[in-house]
Amino acid sequence: MMLETKTNPTWCPGCGNYGILGALKGAITELGLAPHNVLIVAGVGCHGHEPQWVNTYGFQTIHGRTLPLAQAAKLANHELTVIAVAGDGDCLDEGMSHFIHACRRNIDMTLLVHNNGVFGLTTGQTSPTSGKGFVSKSTPFGSPEPPVNSLALALEAGASFVSRGFAGDPKHLQELVVKAIKHRGFSLVEIFQPCVVWNKVNTYDFWRQNTYKLEGAGHNPSSREAAWRKSHEKEPWPLGVVYQTTTQMLTDHLPQIAKQTLVKQPIGKIDITPLLEEYS
């Protein structure tokens, strides 16, 4: 499958985005997805260039609005495999309200959150997931705020698939992305992604020494209570599928698309005159 593009990534050497890109391409290839049936939506940030380097359909929207556009695309053509990629700032700062609503709607799509704990594109300000005490140009005396817990937030909002991976382990990350895409409903994959330039705390070695895999650890991902406990674990942080359940999606309640996706429905005989007259 030809997922390669004519241009090469321009991220900093050693950036965790390379591992994420490789895992994403590997997952699409493993699942045998046709490139013309895949849409990758990105926001603004270092992650935002990712659609440029995967030979599928792609769209880069404005900061914090990744999920509204991705959901709209899925509702318009629910036959597409829709994958949203967002940064921790893009998704959990400007886009936090969209994140919460996407979780509770449970639309069939996948969200990959590139969590490097810093605003990397704008040269290193503290982000919503920066650790308390994190020193940056925007918090020279250390961040006074606790970091946002995206896994716990997703669970509370009603997400049906919640997981976490590490960019430094692309094989394991690919397995998670495959599971997320195959899941029927909204799937979150938070990814610990080292920023080698602006975050000197959460390095590759740091995450290797302070994470463990849930597979083989006796965790039951079907238990919401167990998932809630795991979502609050740290030092070490768990990697893998934290929670997965089967529940109805928003589209299950939309008769408009029950038989045929919107983009294939005829519109030639629709008369909007009464609607125009009502609002004129």
Q: Which residues pair with 118 in a beta bridge?
A: 126
Omega cis (within 30) before 236: yes
Residues lower than pLDDT 70 in the chain: 1
At 188, phi and psi to the nearest 5? -105, 130
- Dist. CA 190–CA 55, nearest whole Å: 23
pLDDT at 1: 54
Give Cα separations from 162 to 1, 30, 158, 214, 244 (angstroms): 28, 21, 10, 13, 7
* Strand duo 118-119 + 57-60: pairing: unpaired
Domains of the chain: 17-278 (3.40.50.970)
**157 contacts 9 by C-beta, under 8 angstroms:** no
At 229, phi and psi to the nearest 5? -65, -45
Consecutive H or E run containing 192: strand 186-192
End-to-end CA distance of the chain: 52
Question: What letter represents residue 80's amino acid?
Answer: L
pLDDT at 260: 86
Q: Provide the CA 34 distance to its chain's centre, in angstroms.
A: 20
- Dist. CA 190–CA 206, nearest whole Å: 17
* Strand duo 161-166 + 186-192: pairing: parallel
**46 contacts 114 by C-beta, under 8 angstroms:** yes
pLDDT at 132: 94
